[in-house]
């Protein structure tokens, strides 16, 4: 059966676009999916009005969202090897390789993590639609590291609530350009679509969402810094955008950094090294770690040899 979600707009959210606000409130449901629901008339105000995506909130109104039954999955399971760190009847935790897309999209209909998970698990949560079953949070194609997926809707809701509450521990390793002098820092800068290039994100005050990243310097090299970055929020490309905003883009990130990489690597040197969360059904805290992939480690080894030679 379809599920009805009732939300009340707080007064401080007055003036926000309805689609952007709903995407922030309904964790696990993308803004594009919200817009589809709006177009289908599945979003109404308490008086029965069917608002458009660009409806500006007044504050205090009630918004009703009817979530339809999950459509039968059309993504094909594929026998792709997985680096599984943990699995039970509710969740599966994997170490995603660099270069693997998380879920199908135009141009990447197969070979994704979802294709692999469906083959291995047989079924996943249907909350996030037919192309992104079980996916609670994502990693960019060229970002490696740990990701948890939900096998059923109860687990999905429990994990999504932790993402929304910023209680899920997500720690990354990143090698960035330049030398960061401060031993640690907090970046609070809103992120939204780039005003010109819609394929990129940017720090902007227009149609943006709150974004907070904490970082800690681990090691300095000649012209580079290895740091640990912890997400407080989880916006698209957040660490990449924030580090570029500071003037220290991630090494290998051709979208937000230099067009040429100083090392022979397949993508940005950004790795989701640690993931911690409360089990969505049983409640106990679980934490997992995974080392960076070989290209990342090889660059670090090269930089350390150079530093020792200088000493």
Distance from C-alpha of 66 to C-alpha of 132, rounded to nearest angstrom? 19
Lowest mean pLDDT among 67-81, 161-175, 205-219: 67-81
How far apart CA 112 and CA 289 sit, in angstroms, is 22
Residue 240's pLDDT is: 98
Task: Indicate if the pLDDT at residue 73 is higher than 60.
Answer: no
Q: How much of the chain exceeds pLDDT 70, in percent? A: 96
- Residue-level pLDDT at 223: 96
- 123 is known as an active-site residue: no
In angstroms, rounded to a whole number, what is the distance separating the alpha carbons of residues 207 and 179?
A: 32
Instruction: Indicate which residue of 140, 153, 222, 264 is catalytic.
Output: 140
| Residue found under tokens 């599984």 | 84
Long-range contacts (CB closer than 8 Å, 24 or more residues apart) made by 247-251: 247/178, 248/176, 248/177, 248/178, 248/180, 249/176, 249/177, 250/174, 250/175, 250/176, 250/177, 251/175, 251/176, 251/177, 251/224, 251/299
pLDDT, mean over the chain:
91
Identify which of 23-37, 106-120, 272-286 has the greatest average pLDDT: 272-286
246: Cα separation from own chain's centroid: 20
Specify the pLDDT at position 27. Answer: 66
Share of the chain above pLDDT 90, in %: 70
| pLDDT on residue 55 | 92
Q: Please, which pLDDT band fits residue 294 given cuts at 50, 70 and 90?
A: very high
- Confidence check: pLDDT of 170 > 50: yes
Which of 71-75, 128-132, 138-142, 293-297 has the lowest average pLDDT?
A: 71-75
Instruction: Report the Cα 8 to chain-centroid distance in Å.
Output: 26
Across 69-78, 84-93, 96-105, the highest mean pLDDT is recorded for 84-93
d(CA 104, CA 124): 15
Which region among 32-36, 61-65, 77-81 has the lowest average model confidence (pLDDT)? 32-36
| Cα separations in angstroms, 36 against 27, 103, 126, 156, 249 | 16, 18, 17, 21, 34
φ, ψ (nearest 5 deg) of residue 243: -70, -40
Q: What is the DSSP string of 214-258?
A: EEEEEEEETTEEEEEEEESS--TTHHHHHHHHTT-PBTT-TTTS-
Task: Report the C-alpha gap between 220 and 75 in whole angstroms.
Answer: 44
Which parts of the chain fold into alpha helices (H)? 18-25, 31-39, 113-121, 153-164, 238-245, 294-310
């Amino acid at each position: 059966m379809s599920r009805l979600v009732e939300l009340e707009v707080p007064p401080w959210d007055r003036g926000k676009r309805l689609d952007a606000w709903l995407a922030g409130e309904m964790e696990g449901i993308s803004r594009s999916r919200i817009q589809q629901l709006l177009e289908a008339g599945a979003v109404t105000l308490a008086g029965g009005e069917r608002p458009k995506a660009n409806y500006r909130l007044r504050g205090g109104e009630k918004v009703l969202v009817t979530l339809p039954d999950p459509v039968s999955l059309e993504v094909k399971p594929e026998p792709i090897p997985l680096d599984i760190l943990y699995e039970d009847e509710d969740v599966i935790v994997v170490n995603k390789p660099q270069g693997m897309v998380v879920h199908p999209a135009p141009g990447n209909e197969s070979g994704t993590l979802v294709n692999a998970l469906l083959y291995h698990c047989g079924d996943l949560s249907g909350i996030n639609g037919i192309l992104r079953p079980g996916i609670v949070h994502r990693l960019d194609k060229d970002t490696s590291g740990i990701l948890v997926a939900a096998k059923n809707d109860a687990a999905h809701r429990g994990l999504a609530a932790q993402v929304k509450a910023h209680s899920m521990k997500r720690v990354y390793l990143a090698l960035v350009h330049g030398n960061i002098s401060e031993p640690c820092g907090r970046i609070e800068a809103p992120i939204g679509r780039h005003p010109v290039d819609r394929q990129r994100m940017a720090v902007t005050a227009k149609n943006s969402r709150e974004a907070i990243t904490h970082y800690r310097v681990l090691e300095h090299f000649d012209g580079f810094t290895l740091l640990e970055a912890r997400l407080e929020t989880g916006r698209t490309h957040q660490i990449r955008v924030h580090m570029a905003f500071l003037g220290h883009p991630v090494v290998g990130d051709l979208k937000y950094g230099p067009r040429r990489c100083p090392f022979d690597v397949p993508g940005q040197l950004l790795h989701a090294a640690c993931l911690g969360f409360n089990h969505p059904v049983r409640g106990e805290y679980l934490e997992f770690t995974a080392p960076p992939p070989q290209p990342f480690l090889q660059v670090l080894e090269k930089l350390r040899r150079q530093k020792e030679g200088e000493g």
